[in-house]
Chain A
Amino acid sequence: MPFLSQEQAPVLEALERMKRARLVPFDVPGHKRGRGNPDLTEFLGQRCLDVDVNSMKMLDNLCHPVSVIKDAEALAAEAFGAAHAFFMVGGTTSAVQAMVLSAVGRGDKIIMPRNVHRSAINALILCGAIPVYVNPEMDETLGISLGMSVAQVQKAIAENPDAKAVLINNPTYYGICSDIKRITELAHAHGMKVLADEAHGTHFAFHEKLPMSAMEAGADMAALSMHKSGGSLTQSSLLLCGPDMNVGYVHQIINITQTTSGSYLLMSSLDISRRRLALHGHEIFDKVIQLVEYAREEINALGDFYAYSRELVNGDSIFDFDITKLSVFTRPVGLAGIEVYDILRDEYDIQTEFGDIANILAYVSVGDREKDLERLVAALAEIRRNYRKDSSKMLKAEYIDPVVKLGPQEAFYAQKESLPLEETAGRVCSEFVMCYPPGIPILAPGELITDEILQYIRYAKKKGCQMTGPEDMSIRQLNVVK
């Protein structure tokens, strides 16, 4: 292998060489560098269409990388402290699924917190593995589920010594981290693989003020949303592997579902973003931390709103907190997070990442400017002045312990019937119900529907959460197992 350094971007450089070669394209894509679709070229730009090309010798092939993609992946692995890295073009969903499918098969058990992203449970529908849920503790005030405590994981392992893997959110959408190092040691001591959903933690490897990355903790695999804090294009992600993974097998798993026409727009964005993070990551996240810390201080000075941070850390279920996350607790203002989210967008032209029952999350990155944060703070001040109301009647989100009656695959493919939501209590759900974002299931296939869950769904619908999952998109009917 030729000498590689983080200053290089092999995929980018190959695309530049390809442009200079002025090839006559008798291959796909059919737009032929945009000439065949002038409207699209006008909208996206010639430079973009010039590099929307297919795999070819000089550009390597994502399904079987031997040259520039292989080099780019090697550089990504080095930058993130992994033994191997895969470029993923189907979003972090595909990375999470590849991770789960690589670690467990039909009937195998996998230990995971219940507040996983839907993609993890979807993987279980595909492979037929059985989830063992660890109750993530709930912060009663904030109404958010936290990380897994080490003792709970220990208990799950003791009760399920045959489990094959443990999945960890590092961090949750809200920025909360479990003690990933100890959980990893524990899992490894029992011969289990450790998989980290690091969709919201791409930046961890680049700053000492941030929580420990999964690779540093010794995890076996991690799925990273480069397109979130890493700065690449939407849908581009990384799957990282530790030294004990069989890379060839993981690659086979990825190729079962990944496209054979990997987008060079996405791959070059991964390559360029990796280079940027490797060379400038520290200063980038210095800036982000400084912006968020400023906004947090100002928001907390407004009153009622609570932008939380490290003070939540309790050494266990909140082992660490990602200080680049600007999560704001809204309930003391008398408004659900989703209501603040809607007011910000409709009245103040400010789009935040999501609002749940009691929190909003403003996603802050290096692309933000101080004056934009001023707008957010000023708008929250105005919302407090104009919309503040009594908060005593608001629903407190509580952790609803799921009762798993069937494995997700069995429930999803079972004989089922569609019932009006109100008549489903006591039945076993065969589909997902969730607010999106954040995309954490309220109900997953195979779980018992209870009155408490139905009450939560009604409240979330009333407050304006966007509910997704069921076949009936209006969420009036639910599919239950016959």
Chain B
Amino acid sequence: MELWFTEKHTANVGFSIKVDKQLYSARSEFQRIDIFESPEFGRFLTLDGYMMLTEKDEFVYHEMIVHVPMCVNQKAGDVLVIGGGDGGAVRELLKYPGLRHIDLCEIDEQVVEACREYLPQTAGRLDDARVSLHFEDGLRFVRGCEDAYDLIIVDSTDPFGPGEGLFTKEFYGNCYKALHEDGIMVNQHESPFYEKDAYAMQRAHKRIVESFPVSRVYQAHIPTYPSGHWLFGYAAKQRQPVEGVDFVGWKQLGLATKYYNTQLHAGAFALPNYVEAMLKDVEAHA
């Protein structure tokens, strides 16, 4: 018997992982949640059939969504994570000794419960005293915050499911309001490669450019996401993501990372020409 998980990356492209067994399956108020065990990628989490993380490559995503902004502002004390119920971003953030407090706002409590039980690799630090969990709509949560955070990490699903509201101009604008004067927002920014993802990527970029004075995009290689080529958005009120960043200071923190390093940080903002062209296209209309 062979059991395979397949995610359709487009109508014509499938991505399959051989599965040993299914560990968890449930339908929450918001989405279908599944956790599988696989020989190649270890355990992996899918929401509505879309790959969220695997034990083998989640380090790429979580290190890149956390260490890039944390290197830019190493003194960041108050952080809001929106989405991120798997706990991976929180785990990386807690490596910083200066971090005071993390609010994690995840709409689906059941995702957190499932990850706590089956994915301790990412969810293992959610009980840290510096972490407060909020189970509510991210858009609603951030609306009530003003001048409250150094960093907001938008660790969302795709803009086609419950994460829809987290790709809107009103959301980015509310994040702007929720940040301190030198605040930074990073977000999961989809992929430039396949048409549907690329369209979502362009829309998100346009909305962020309209909301923040500094808006850049950086990339990482994530094998289990569509095309493997994934983008993150970096937006800030003042701080540039590379110029003037204290890379030496970050190295002195002596944090152990598997993907991220400071040369890669600078290089990640160098994008392929076709991606630059797509970004310029929407910047011109913003």
Helix, strand, loop or mixed for chain B's interface? helix
| B168 near A349: Cβ-Cβ < 8 Å | yes
Among A336-364, those with CB < 8 Å from B are: 347-349
Q: Given A371-B137, A374-B137, A374-B139, are A382 and B165 also a contact pair (CB < 8 Å)?
A: no
Number of interface residues of B (CB under 8 A): 15
Among A343-397, those with CB < 8 Å from B are: 347-349, 370-371, 374-375, 377-379, 381-382, 385-386
| A371 near B162: Cβ-Cβ < 8 Å | yes
Partner of A381 from B165, B168, B170 at Cβ < 8 Å? B170
Question: What per-residue 1/0 map shows which CB atoms of B155-170 lie under 8 Å from chain A?
Answer: 0000000101100111
Specify which chain B residues have a CB less than 8 angstroms from the CB of A381 in the assembled complex. Answer: 143, 170, 174
| B143 near A375: Cβ-Cβ < 8 Å | no
Question: What per-residue 1/0 map shows which CB atoms of B118-162 lie under 8 Å from chain A?
Answer: 000000000000000000010110010000000000000000001
Specify which chain A residues have a CB less than 8 angstroms from the CB of B205 in the assembled complex. Answer: none
Partner of B177 from A347, A348, A375, A385 at Cβ < 8 Å? A385
Specify which chain A residues have a CB less than 8 angstroms from the CB of B171 in the assembled complex. Answer: 378
Partner of A371 from B165, B169, B173, B174 at Cβ < 8 Å? B165
Specify which chain B residues have a CB less than 8 angstroms from the CB of A377 in the assembled complex. Answer: 140, 143
- The interface centre, meaning the residue of A349, A374, A377 with most chain B CB atoms within 10 A of its CB, is A374
Q: Given A370-B137, A375-B168, are A382 and B162 also a contact pair (CB < 8 Å)?
A: no
Specify which chain B residues have a CB less than 8 angstroms from the CB of A382 in the assembled complex. Answer: 169-170, 173-174
- Once bound together, how far apart are the Cα atoms of A198 and B29, in whole Å? 36
- Once bound together, how far apart are the Cα atoms of A385 and B173, in whole Å? 9
Specify which chain A residues have a CB less than 8 angstroms from the CB of B165 in the assembled complex. Answer: 371, 374-375, 378
Among B160-200, those with CB < 8 Å from A are: 162, 164-165, 168-171, 173-174, 177
| B170 near A379: Cβ-Cβ < 8 Å | yes
Closest Cβ–Cβ distance, residue A365 to chain B (whole Å): 19
Could you say which interface size class chain A belongs to? 10 to 19
Partner of B174 from A347, A349, A370, A378 at Cβ < 8 Å? A378
Q: Given A375-B139, A378-B174, A386-B173, are A348 and B168 also a contact pair (CB < 8 Å)?
A: yes
Specify which chain B residues have a CB less than 8 angstroms from the CB of A375 in the assembled complex. Answer: 139, 165, 168, 170
- The interface centre, meaning the residue of B165, B173, B174 with most chain A CB atoms within 10 A of its CB, is B173
Specify which chain A residues have a CB less than 8 angstroms from the CB of B170 in the assembled complex. Answer: 348, 375, 378-379, 381-382
Closest Cβ–Cβ distance, residue B171 to chain A (whole Å): 6
- Once bound together, how far apart are the Cα atoms of A38 and B238, in whole Å? 56
- Once bound together, how far apart are the Cα atoms of A349 and B164, in whole Å? 12
Among residues of A, the one whose C-beta sits closest to the C-beta of B141 is A374
- Once bound together, how far apart are the Cα atoms of A347 and B173, in whole Å? 11
- Once bound together, how far apart are the Cα atoms of A385 and B210, in whole Å? 14
- Once bound together, how far apart are the Cα atoms of A255 and B137, in whole Å? 52
- Once bound together, how far apart are the Cα atoms of A370 and B164, in whole Å? 12
Partner of A348 from B140, B143, B164, B169 at Cβ < 8 Å? B169
| A371 near B168: Cβ-Cβ < 8 Å | no
Specify which chain B residues have a CB less than 8 angstroms from the CB of A349 in the assembled complex. Answer: 168-169
- Once bound together, how far apart are the Cα atoms of A379 and B137, in whole Å? 15
Specify which chain A residues have a CB less than 8 angstroms from the CB of B137 in the assembled complex. Answer: 370-371, 374
Specify which chain A residues have a CB less than 8 angstroms from the CB of B210 in the assembled complex. Answer: 347
- Once bound together, how far apart are the Cα atoms of A349 and B159, in whole Å? 14
Specify which chain A residues have a CB less than 8 angstroms from the CB of B177 in the assembled complex. Answer: 385
Closest Cβ–Cβ distance, residue B159 to chain A (whole Å): 12
- Once bound together, how far apart are the Cα atoms of A385 and B170, in whole Å? 11
Closest Cβ–Cβ distance, residue A378 to chain B (whole Å): 4
Among residues of B, the one whose C-beta sits closest to the C-beta of A382 is B173
- Once bound together, how far apart are the Cα atoms of A371 and B140, in whole Å? 9
Among residues of A, the one whose C-beta sits closest to the C-beta of B139 is A374
Among residues of B, the one whose C-beta sits closest to the C-beta of A386 is B173
**Can you sample 23 A-B contacts with CB below 8 Å?**
A347-B169, A347-B210, A348-B168, A348-B169, A348-B170, A349-B168, A370-B137, A371-B164, A371-B165, A374-B137, A374-B143, A374-B165, A375-B165, A375-B168, A375-B170, A377-B143, A378-B139, A378-B165, A379-B168, A379-B170, A381-B174, A382-B170, A385-B173
Known contacts A349-B168, A375-B168, A377-B140, then 18 further A-B pairs from the complex at CB < 8 Å, ordered by chain A residue: A347-B169, A348-B168, A348-B169, A348-B170, A370-B137, A371-B139, A371-B162, A374-B140, A378-B139, A378-B165, A378-B168, A378-B171, A378-B173, A379-B169, A379-B170, A381-B170, A382-B169, A382-B174
Residues of chain A having any CB pair with chain B under 8 Å: 347-349, 370-371, 374-375, 377-379, 381-382, 385-386
For the complex of A and B, list the 8 residue pairs with the smallest distance between their C-beta atoms, beginning with the closest: A378-B170, A382-B173, A379-B170, A374-B139, A382-B170, A374-B140, A371-B165, A378-B139
